[in-house]
Chain A
């Protein structure tokens, strides 16, 4: 699975310039590459035993997107991001998060881009089984690690603000889960550094 994703991503990266030059992509203004850090459920998870909430996480993400101008300052920005695999050591659980995103962008100023869109957040957990002795009451008990491959798929409402300088940009991208269900609503975010590869 991981190897297939790697191959897909690497072939995307290498084929992107050729794709950009092709006739079918004549409307394409540029292709961009993301490098970022993803934080899941801002203030929605407990971080320590004293009740502190998680505000920032360490989860590197990479991605690729396209800038398709629509009209004057408006554009359409489909992109794919991958939060790099998180390995939970002892259990061998590997967690991958993939984002398939579609933003509309608006450039009110030459250095500022506002984005609003939607995305599909795909969290995959790959368990390899095994067991663990854990404390339980005054003794220990045996518990088990997951041994299957399962995915959670969510729609998100996405908003972002991007500050651009020359071919680079810094972006705060937010993803709201369960927009219409207050009890389950959560906000995740990614801080991206983006490189825009200009079409010749």
Chain B
């Protein structure tokens, strides 16, 4: 019975979002700041640090416009310098072989998300890899910090990308930093390579970020009435356009009542 009902109505999708690890880790706080390391050098990647910083705003916007997720990414500007971030090895905290392969040259654990350019070829494996992201600081099962490194080796192809592609790459890497893995859906930002044009998140991305950072609103606070809804960045909600909505409703009713009056059939009174 259940099977028949499901077959009647159930729709299927071919692709699914994935997560970075088997325990579905996400940042412990749903408000995460994205920084550019103040000492980084991105000459090979074809940009100044100021240009790199200017990409953060548009990149985080992809993830900030999902209403079913409470994730809030903030542009933090420049961070203080992180040890070994420009030339060091990027390792996950549990990856002992990686850590042992570069004694004293492992990028230090960070808080929030730090972006830098890094010229150590071992981190990328291939010149066609544009960037790599590793959450390298955990608090229990929650992410405390992640590092995004942009390929700054002599063979990098990052400098060949258009500005919008660079934004897309950073947004994709931020997706890894917040806990998402790849998907096979070409429409999704978390597809493993850049696509012709990237304007919004795909359905998989939206669902993935909603799974990791689900929006939870007190149902008693309908339309913010009980003060239970705050803006996603924690600030108080802006004044709701109640009077415009009310005026539009009254105007609409008046208009239809007028139409009804005009359409009323005329009656002749008998003399």
Contacts and interface: CB of A to CB of B under 8 A. Distances in A.
Interface of A: 2-3, 6, 40-41, 44-51, 53-54, 58-60, 62, 84-91, 93, 95, 100, 106, 108-109, 114, 116, 118, 120-121, 123, 125, 127, 129, 131-132, 134-139, 141, 143-148, 150-155, 157, 177-181, 183-186
Interface string B104-137: 0000000000000000000011101100000000
Contact of B19 (A108, A144, A153): A144
A152 B68 contact: yes
Of the listed residues A3, A141, A152, the one surrounded by the most CB atoms of chain B closer than 10 A to its CB is A152
A144 B198 contact: no
Interface of B: 2, 5-6, 9-16, 18-22, 24, 61, 64-69, 124-126, 128-129, 181-184, 186-189, 191-193, 195-203, 206-207, 210-211, 214-217, 219, 221-224, 229, 231-232, 237-238, 240, 249, 252-253, 256-257, 259-260
Contacts of A181: 67, 231-232, 237
B68 A118 contact: no
A6 B2 contact: yes
B199 A51 contact: yes
A131 B181 CA distance: 11
Contacts of B249: 116
Contact of B21 (A84, A132, A144): A144
Nearest to B66: A184
Q: Could you tell me the dominant secondary structure of chain A's interface residues?
A: strand
B214 A151 contact: yes
Contacts of A148: 24
A146 B125 contact: no
A145 B20 CA distance: 9
B206 to A, nearest CB: 6
B91 to A, nearest CB: 15
Contacts of A88: 12-16
Given A138-B128, A143-B182, A154 B67 contact: yes
B217 A118 contact: no
Contacts of A136: 182, 192
